[in-house]
Structure 1
Amino acid sequence: MQQSSAPGAPSPLTSVPEPTRQEERRAVVAATAGTFIEWYEYGLYAFVAGLVIAPLFFAEAGSFAVLATFATFAVGFVARPVGGIVLGAAGDRWGRRPVLMFSIVLMGVATTGIGLLPPYAVIGVWAPILLVTFRVLQGFGAGAELAAAMIFVNESTRKQRKGLTSSYMVAGTLAGSILAVILFTVISASLSEQAFLAWGWRVPFLLGAVLTVIGLLLRRRLGESPEFERVEAERRAGRIERARTNPLAAMAAAFRANPRNFAAGFLLPSGLNVTGFVAQAFGISYLTTQIGLSSTQTLVTTLAMMGVGLLALLFWGWACDRIGAVRVLYIGALSGIPLAFAYFALLRTGELALIILASIALWSVGWSAAMAAQMVLLPLLFRTEYRGSGMTSSRELQGGLVAGPAPLIASGLALALGGEPWLVAGFIALAHLLTVIGMVLGRPLVSSDDIADTPALAGLRPART
């Protein structure tokens, strides 16, 4: 990411008062708690996909049950761009806070619905139909949640701490997923296989209803971000036009404003998204069906991977404020390529200790470093007045076309080689190369003052004015 080609592109930080420590803390806590809850709910499906969903909801699919399961996993990501486009435009029109409130309600309703859904043996074909419906609702809500929270925190934190505070927020997503793994590990270890399949797996989904209420109470106290308030003031003064109500028109306007950065917003998340969802959803299925680990061993592996990854995420957020987010992003993307092949080589040994080590290494570098850096860099590809539309739609289009189908693609690639994982490793490596291309392509809209005042922006060049 070097010099911007966008003429007259002002810094998104220009003329915005620095948030106080208390304002920053309130914004980070509320956003982090919300993402914790929402990604606990959204992550539940990834952990039960290979263990529960296939036998309960696709029993008639036979050998294609796992593929059908991951197809419904992908459906949630197909809905994410729709949610991102619609709710991203709403965030530019009416504010970041209403979007954060709406998305958490939608996710809570869908997650509770999955927890109450009867299996195929009880209601027949309606079971997979309703499952897909709830996955669509989950995807629609999640399509704006993380991006909206990312934007909100980025616009509400002090310049000296952009990397670390942003990593706190996204650590909430990982902590939510870890809670889901812990619950499934404890429940599956405590119950017989029959009891777990009959009702045990539903408990974490139903807990989502309680967590949703907690999230709503926390987010009720949120105000708007200082940057959005500044844009609203300029709109009222007639210096900036009102945001478009039509979400497709809003997305098109964001694309026309800077096609290069829109493309970069699409490409940048590729490596971390494919790494994350292959390691989570496909990895769990692969370890149980191909390597022969028990469900408890598989969940313990996933818990170790994500637990260490959470600590690594905070470290990389701290590193962004020391060496710059661009350098951290390169570390994650370039390291992810060899780690993908090492990961599957160690998985194939069947040794639990080596499998855990491989999972931790891939996640802590290939996922965590890239995620921490993108919390800082992605919002800067778009000006504040169209940031919701531009960033959310570009990022979630990538999720629908690349990240969501990743476990399904990985399953198909492994099936094509009779269970051999090397095409899957190549798939992860290709995704990291796409991230590198996005890094080269992107031109963040920052000024020389921003770069001087914000340590996480080290390595960037100011936009042309």
Structure 2
Amino acid sequence: MSSEHSPPTDAAGATAAERPVFQPKVAVAAVFGTTVEWYDFALYGTAAALVFNKLYFPDADPLVGTTLAFGTFAIGFLARPLGGAYFGEKGDTEGRKKVLVTTLLLMGVATAAIGLLPTYAQIGVAAPIALTALRFVQGFAAGGEKTGALIILFENAPPKWRGLLSSLPAIGTGTGTLLSTGAFALMTGLLSDEAFLSWGWRVPFLASAFLTLFGLWVRASLEETAEFQKAGVLKRDTAARPLRQRFRESRFVEAWTRYPREMIIVICAGAAENAGYYIFGTFSVAYVEDRGQPATALLTGISIAAAVKLFSVPAFGALSDRVGRRPVSIGGALVLLLAAWPFFELIDGGQPWATWLALLVTLGVGQAAILGSQPAFFAELFDTKVRFSAVGVANNVGTVLTGGLAPLLATGLLLWFDHSVVGVVAFMALMSALTAGTVALAPETRPVVPPAESGSGETTARRHEPAT
């Protein structure tokens, strides 16, 4: 996989001294908005395992109903590359801020609508159809959200802090997961099963409306990045051009033309992180239900792991600023590879402490290492003009192939292997090996900051080819 192209620009030719001083409000706006978006997005995953299989696919066998529910869950991921392409074009031509506001509003509306959606018993087949449509909208919005938050932080960050600051949106995803699983744990703990299935599950979805309004207020204070403005990227007047011509001139096509190798790297490098999150953090809920065990300990463990990731993800991002993006990412993939089989052995034991330990190792360490090191790695592979489209499309395509389909595939493998996790473990091992291999063959992108100028001088990018 090789290609010739001009090297990525770092602030459109600006020196590090010309960069504006990093403003904490940028981090607050990016992280809080991502928290709201991923609270919304993660709610669906938990509800698919606990609620939607009963209320929207009630005539199916329980495990088959869960498979169908995870099928609608996967629809959201199929929409993400479309959202990445659409919002990537907007972000690269009209600015980063506009995308961040639009995606947050779109996600909030769709999530609140799910909380108001009638069940299969009330409106029949229209219920799962509407549920699927709303999940598609969620996925479309998510396709632009995380990339936009990553890029607005990356382009505001001093080179020596890029890994740390670019990892902060992942804190939002962890916080969102923590809030969503915590909300379901609270409702299942306070209410009877009948009350929870009747109305209790709707409360976390409806609460999204209030979080969204506050998130929009926070993001309204953002300014466009100096790097985007310096690049002189202007909106193209494409209204009168044929659709085919507009597609050929899109930033998405330009990214694939100029950076084919880098696009493939981004698609494959996140395989272990994507699959790990949805195998250990989403499919596992359905797994314990299938075993006839209560999900309370597992949901608590997911919440604990999400809380740990608030610290471990930026710690690994900061580590990648010191030792490089590649070793941190490969290390995380190896942890997930080695922990896959013990994970299910520990939760099969039914001991809460063992379940929590399994989740801490897989999500709090293995997944967090990849999640902390790869945002800056991905952004550093591309220049300003195509960065949003390139990362948005490639990363979301990878998420669909290796993450969004993971709960559905894992449930199918559980059925195929007669309720044994052998197939699930093999799938997780394959995804971990894909990440480790891809990153090992990729160039190191961490900028080299001269010690005498740490933060105020020119930087050069490490783009070493891997040793052979």
Give the TM-score normalised by structure 2: 0.90
* Alpha-carbon distance in 2 for matches of 1:49, 1:113: 16
Cα deviations by residue, 1:66-114 (Å, 9 ceiling, x for unpaired): 1101000100000111111111111111111111111001101100010
Superposition deviation, residue 377 in structure 1: 0.2
* Alpha-carbon distance in 2 for matches of 1:224, 1:459: 24
The amino acid that maps onto 2:61 is G
Q: Is the 8 A contact 2:143 2:392 kept in 1?
A: yes
- The corresponding residue for 2:44 is 45
Structure 1 pair 418–450 and aligned structure 2 pair: CA distance change class (3 A): farther
The amino acid that maps onto 2:6 is G
Q: Is the 8 A contact 1:261 1:443 kept in 2?
A: no
Q: Please give the secondary structure, in 1, of the residue aligned with 2:399.
A: helix
- The corresponding residue for 1:368 is 368
Superposition pairs for residues 177-326 of structure 1, below 5 Å? Answer: 177-232=177-232, 246=247, 249-290=250-291, 292-326=292-326
Superposition deviation, residue 226 in structure 1: 1.7
Superposition deviation, residue 39 in structure 1: 0.5
Structure 1 pair 421–178 and aligned structure 2 pair: CA distance change class (3 A): same
Higher relative contact order (CA 8 A, sep 6+): 1
Superposition deviation, residue 187 in structure 1: 1.3
* Alpha-carbon distance in 1 for matches of 2:73, 2:248: 25
Cα deviations by residue, 1:244-265 (Å, 9 ceiling, x for unpaired): 9648843221111011101001
- The corresponding residue for 1:81 is 81
* Alpha-carbon distance in 2 for matches of 1:219, 1:334: 37
* Alpha-carbon distance in 2 for matches of 1:255, 1:177: 32
1:103 aligned onto 2:127:
no
- The corresponding residue for 2:394 is 394
Q: Please give the secondary structure, in 2, of the residue aligned with 1:382.
A: coil
Alignment: residue pair count: 451
Superposition deviation, residue 235 in structure 1: 9.3
Q: Please give the secondary structure, in 1, of the residue aligned with 2:224.
A: coil
The amino acid that maps onto 2:83 is G
**Greater mean alpha carbon deviation, residues 219-228 or residues 430-439:** 430-439
Q: Which has the higher helix share?
A: 1
Q: Please give the secondary structure, in 1, of the residue aligned with 2:59.
A: helix
Cα deviations by residue, 1:311-348 (Å, 9 ceiling, x for unpaired): 22132123223322222112111222111122122222
Structure 1 pair 250–303 and aligned structure 2 pair: CA distance change class (3 A): same
**What's the Cα RMSD here?**
2.6
Cα deviations by residue, 1:336-385 (Å, 9 ceiling, x for unpaired): 21111221222222222112111111112221000000121011111110
Q: Any stretches of 5+ residues in structure 2 without a counterpart?
A: 237-244
The amino acid that maps onto 1:58 is F
Structure 1 pair 157–378 and aligned structure 2 pair: CA distance change class (3 A): same
1:146 aligned onto 2:139:
no
Structure 1 pair 445–228 and aligned structure 2 pair: CA distance change class (3 A): farther
* Alpha-carbon distance in 1 for matches of 2:8, 2:311: 35
**Greater mean alpha carbon deviation, residues 153-162 or residues 193-202:** 153-162
Structure 1 pair 233–115 and aligned structure 2 pair: CA distance change class (3 A): closer
* Alpha-carbon distance in 2 for matches of 1:126, 1:181: 27
Superposition deviation, residue 61 in structure 1: 2.3
* Alpha-carbon distance in 1 for matches of 2:20, 2:406: 41
1:29 aligned onto 2:31:
no
- The corresponding residue for 1:9 is 7
Q: Is the 8 A contact 1:46 1:280 kept in 2?
A: no
**Greater mean alpha carbon deviation, residues 404-413 or residues 155-164:** 155-164
Superposition deviation, residue 441 in structure 1: 4.0
